[in-house]
Amino acid sequence: MRDSFPDMNQLVWRSIEPKDEAALVELDAACKSIDGEEPVSNLPEDALKAAAIHSDNSLCVAVRDQLAAVGWLLVSEPAEGVQRIRLGGQVHPEFRRRGIGEALLSWAELRALQVAQPGLTLQLVITNEALTEGANVLYLEYGYENVLTEQMLVRPLDEVALPDPLPEDLTARAWDAASAPLFFQAYAEGFSDRLGDIVPVQAEWIASYAEEDEQFRPDLSRVVLEDEKPVGFVTCEVDGKTGWISQIAVVQEHRRKGLAHALLLDALQRFQQEGCEEAALHVNANNARAAAVFVDAGFVPRLIRARFMKEIALGM
């Protein structure tokens, strides 16, 4: 199978090994220096995890003691007749536009077909945290559908305007065991026009923050109440020197009153007091109203993240 890959400058195509960790870190840094810095993806961790599960679930392109490219796949257990397999990969900026990305994607799809269980719907998913024009074209040419596009917005925290005080009939609470359900209620109502009928289970949503998110900062997060009714919220994370707005929303009847702007500036001030140097967030590309609030608060675009999907019906 690997004999069909491009033979350029004595590149070596092989499986990823534990000794490649330093080279994977170097490859990740080289790609982010060109495509845009973002802390969400973890190329070394994902690639090494895939290789540890099965050596044939990873493939790298080696140049002496460095890596020109890497690809991998992570297989999920089937659920309700669907088996999801996540494909990942990166090509060093100096080795792009030479057919390596196409070869890695072809290999990953073939490997996915080999490991998928028959009789199911195979769902191939690619998440790219810093989408380039070349990668976008490649995914579309291979039949993937863009199912999510978000902008990463950032702003420095050297100067943050003081937020306007909340109206007298509104109060704010930090996240704790008692207030967590209020955060969920504000989330469900604040995003109702975007969630539609698909609303997460309350316990699972709360656990995704309180138990699964290592960067989550309940002390910096706020829910705003009118009497006892949640009308807005913001959840915050801190990753190194970056403060992240994880989610922010206001219920419909309280929109266009400056509440979202006040919540945002209040969170930025707390990030600054925490010693963060930059604030960041993701906003859906089709959510112009939210983007306008963020731009008004000083945020600027840094990069685009996107998720692509392709489904294949597998025979028995």
List the structure tokens of 17. Answer: 């090994």
Give the C-alpha distances (Å, rounded to integers) separating 66 from 9, 34, 255: 13, 18, 52
What count of residues does the chain have?
Answer: 316
pLDDT at 3: 45
What is this structure's pTM?
A: 0.86
pLDDT at 100: 95
Q: Domain 2-149+306-313: which topology?
A: Aminopeptidase (3.40.630)
Q: Which residues of the chain form CATH 3.40.630.30?
A: 2-149+306-313, 159-276
Per-residue pLDDT of the chain (316 residues; tens, 9 = 90+): 344 445 566 799 999 999 999 999 999 999 999 999 998 899 999 999 999 999 999 999 998 889 999 999 999 999 999 999 999 999 999 999 999 999 999 999 999 999 999 999 999 999 999 999 999 999 999 999 999 999 999 999 998 887 778 888 899 999 999 999 999 999 999 998 877 677 789 999 999 999 999 999 999 999 999 999 999 999 999 999 999 999 999 998 988 888 999 999 999 999 999 999 999 999 999 999 899 999 999 999 999 999 999 999 997 6
Please give the single-letter amino acid code of residue 223: V
Rounded CA-CA distance 215/237 in Å is 5
Give the C-alpha distances (Å, rounded to integers) separating 142 from 71, 215, 306: 16, 35, 16
List the structure tokens of 62. Answer: 């080696």
pLDDT at 1: 38
Neighbours of 248 (CB within 10 A): 24
Q: Is CATH 3.40.50.261 the right assignment for the domain spanning 159-276?
A: no
β partners of residue 279? 155, 243
